[in-house]
Structure 1
Amino acid sequence: MRKRPNHLAGLAAGIWLLIIGVPLYALVNTAIQPQGSYTDGGPLALPSKVTFENFSTVLHSGFLGYLWNTVLVAAFTVAIVLATCVPISYAVVRGRGWITRGVFRLFLLGLAIPAQAVIIPLFYIVNRLGLYDSLWGIVLPTAAFSMPVSILVISGGMREIDSSQFEAMALDGATPRRVLRELVIPLARPAIATASVFAALQAWNGFLFPLIMTQSENDKVVTLGLYNFVSQYGANVPALLAAVLFSAVPILVVYLFARRALVSGLMGAGGK
Structure 2
Amino acid sequence: MRTRPNYVAGVAAFIWLLIIGVPLYALVNTALQPQSKYTDKGPLALPSALTLDNFKTVVDSGFLQDIWNTVVVAGATVAIVLALAVPISYAVVRGRGWITKGVFRLFLLGLAIPSQAVIIPLFLIINDLGFYDTLWGIILPTAAFALPVSVLVLSGGMRDISTELYEAMALDGANPARTLLTLVLPMSRSAIATTCVFTALQAWNGFLFPLIMTQSNGDKVVTLGLYNFVSEYGSNVPALLTAVLMSTLPILVVYLFARRALVAGLMGAGGK
Determine the structure 2 residue equivalent to 1:221.
Answer: 221
Please give the per-residue CA displacement for 1:216-241, whole angstroms capped at 9, x wherever unaligned.
01000111111343237943211111
Determine the structure 2 residue equivalent to 1:264.
Answer: 264
Q: Distance in 2 between matches of 1:135 and 1:85?
A: 21
SS at match of 1:36: coil
Determine the structure 2 residue equivalent to 1:244.
Answer: 244
Determine the structure 2 residue equivalent to 1:24.
Answer: 24
Determine the structure 2 residue equivalent to 1:101.
Answer: 101
Q: TM-score, normalized by length of structure 2?
A: 0.96
Q: Distance in 2 between matches of 1:73 and 1:138?
A: 7
Q: Distance in 2 between matches of 1:117 and 1:146?
A: 16
- 4+ residue segments displaced more than 6 Å: none
1:145-224 aligned within 5 A = 145-224=145-224
Q: Does 1:128 align with 2:128?
A: yes
Shift of 1:32: 1.1
Determine the structure 2 residue equivalent to 1:139.
Answer: 139
Shift of 1:3: 1.2
Q: Distance in 1 between matches of 2:234 and 2:27?
A: 18
**Change over 3 Å in CA distance of 1:79–1:89 after alignment to 2:** same
Paired letter, 1:128: D
Paired letter, 1:48: S
What is the Cα-based RMSD across aligned positions, in Å?
Answer: 1.6
Q: Distance in 1 between matches of 2:41 and 2:49?
A: 12
Shift of 1:101: 0.8
Identity over aligned pairs, percent? 77
**Change over 3 Å in CA distance of 1:175–1:125 after alignment to 2:** same
Q: Does the CA contact (< 8 Å) of 1:210 and 1:220 recur in 2?
A: yes
Q: Distance in 2 between matches of 1:193 and 1:38?
A: 39
Q: Distance in 1 between matches of 2:65 and 2:108?
A: 36
Paired letter, 2:40: D
Q: Does the CA contact (< 8 Å) of 1:81 and 1:147 recur in 2?
A: yes
5+ residue gaps, structure 1: none
Shift of 1:270: 8.3
Determine the structure 2 residue equivalent to 1:67.
Answer: 67
Q: Distance in 1 between matches of 2:193 and 2:224?
A: 27
Q: Distance in 2 between matches of 1:160 and 1:175?
A: 20
| Equivalent residues, number | 271
Shift of 1:41: 2.3
Please give the per-residue CA displacement for 1:94-121, whole angstroms capped at 9, x wherever unaligned.
0111111111111111111111111111
